[in-house]
Structure 1
């Protein structure tokens, strides 16, 4: 279960909504930063390989 990337987000929402606890901000910020890095890398890869997509499709 710890390999699922949504586990931490779901657990935090569950803690806030069901148990009334505050979110773990450090974990949330880390997840957002990691997500931004992955999105940026994907966008950079797409921009670099953009010309080849028309040939494949």
Structure 2
């Protein structure tokens, strides 16, 4: 089973850092998405194992 994660973060540098960290640990990153609208659009195509959201 592939480990997939939806990454939702609006800060570009944090997003890139998190994506690289997760991919080095074997996760397949869906996204990243900077907005809720983008995240919902990504969910239309695939369902991740988990989601990492920055909620502010």
TM-score bracket, normalised by the shorter chain, equals: 0.3 to 0.5
TM-score by length of 1: 0.33
Q: Per residue, is there more strand in 1 or in 2?
A: 2
Provide the TM-score with structure 2 as the length reference. 0.33
Q: Relative contact order: is structure 1 or structure 2 higher (C-alpha 8 Å, sep ≥ 6)?
A: 2
